[in-house]
Amino acid sequence: MNSASQVSGLVGAWIASGLLKPEIIVKFAEACMDWPYVWGAVGAECTPDKRRYYMGRSSIGEKDKANIQKACPVLNGSQTACNGCKWFPHNQRVLINDCQGFVKNAFSRIGITLRGGGCTSMWNDNSNWTQKGKLADMPRDKVCLVFINEGEKMSHVGIYCGNGRVIHCSHYVREGACPDKAWGWSHYAIPAGLYGDAPIEMPTLRKGSSGEYVTLLQTKLIQRGYDLNPYGADGKYGNKTVEAVKAFQRDNGLAVDGICGKNTWNCILSGGTTLYTVTIQHVSLGVANNIITQYGGTMKKEGD
């Protein structure tokens, strides 16, 4: 099972490699396989305290509350700590979601916000979709969302991955078939912004930012020799990352502000610019100025 930090690193690599949004959605869903279900959660870290928080919400039913407690070794009393729990792989956290939280978390990774507090309100908000309808009319070769309709409400949602596959969060993130008589998938919807040739827009990052885009930035900085020890690519934009970004900006002739915006992203994703120091002896000031005008750079006189 992948940890949350591993998945964030994978998402960053997929974005950097130029994968299209539907491909990233499928890969993300596959990478999250076996992550746990918690009613009401949308991509929160799986900890006993966070599970207690969702158990304590006034809108939760007794059955869902009991399931949250039963699934956690600390809360059910079988362990005193998370070590050894299947949802604490390699002593790293995974994320908890319910069904609609899982799809919201997935699409947020590619910059798409799905509105609505539950499956029904998500379905009813037409600003979420470019196309929706009954399952019989679903384009079977497109990534989209599939829903289960129960009377006047949508009771469950999953990610249709094409080729008759659906990945959804029920007890845990799992793969199934679509159509499937046992689950009764009945409707589909294509999220707005999922298709088209436009690349994923890289967000502006600054101190306090976190997530897979920060992990991607940090990974690129480390690859280019910028020091991020002792934290490494931890997905948290702290002082060490600010200083590394400033150093990268300084080395590549960018505005030095420690903020990773459009110009810094373009430079670091394209490989950056390699700058050299060249010493030219015994030239006049006029010749030196002509060289700088033609090639760029700065001048330092001997003795400065």
Per the prediction, the chain carries an average pLDDT of 89
At 300 the pLDDT is: 60
The arithmetic mean of pLDDT across residues 168-175, rounded, is: 96
In 3D space, the residue among 172, 31, 28, 185 whose CA is nearest the CA of residue 107 turns out to be 28
| % the chain with pLDDT above 90 | 66
Q: Among 109-118, 231-240, 244-253, 276-285, where is mean pLDDT lowest?
A: 276-285
The average pLDDT across 254-270 equals 90
Asked whether the predicted pLDDT for residue 273 surpasses 60, the reply is no
Q: Quick one: tokens of 206? A: 């600054």
Domain covering 4-191 assigned CATH 3.90.1720.10 in the classification: yes
Q: What is the pLDDT of residue 302?
A: 56
Confidence band, pLDDT 50/70/90 cuts, at residue 87:
very high
CATH 3.40.50.150 for domain 212-269, yes or no, is no
pLDDT of the residue at 270: 74
Say what the pLDDT of residue 184 is. Answer: 93
Give me the mean pLDDT over the 249-258 stretch. 93
pLDDT digits (tens, 9 = 90+) for 37-80: 999 999 999 999 999 999 999 889 999 999 999 999 999 999 99
Calculate mean pLDDT across residues 285-304: 62
How many Å apart are CA 138 and CA 143, to the nearest integer?
Answer: 10
Nearest to 160 by CA among 187, 199, 133: 187
Q: What are phi and psi of 297, to 5 degrees?
A: 115, -170
What gap in Å lies between CA 297 and CA 124, rounded to an integer? 57
pLDDT at 292: 64
pLDDT, average across residues 193-218: 84
Q: Where are the domains of the chain?
A: 4-191, 212-269
Across the strands, what pairs with 144?
160
Please, how many CA atoms are within 13 Å of residue 34, restricted to the half-sphere of its CB?
Answer: 9
Task: Decide if pLDDT at 200 tops 90.
Answer: no
Strands (E), the chain: 42-45, 95-97, 129-134, 144-150, 153-162, 165-170, 172-177, 187-191
Contact residues for 191 (Cβ-Cβ < 8 A; gap 6+) = 107, 112, 114, 128, 129, 130, 144, 145
Looking at residue 284, its pLDDT comes to: 75
d(CA 38, CA 244) in angstroms, rounded, equals 38
Output the DSSP codes for 170-208: ESEEEEEESS-TTTT--EEEEETTSSSSPPPPPPPB-TT
Q: Which letter does DSSP use for residue 82 in this model?
A: S
Question: 4-191 and 212-269 share one CATH topology?
Answer: no
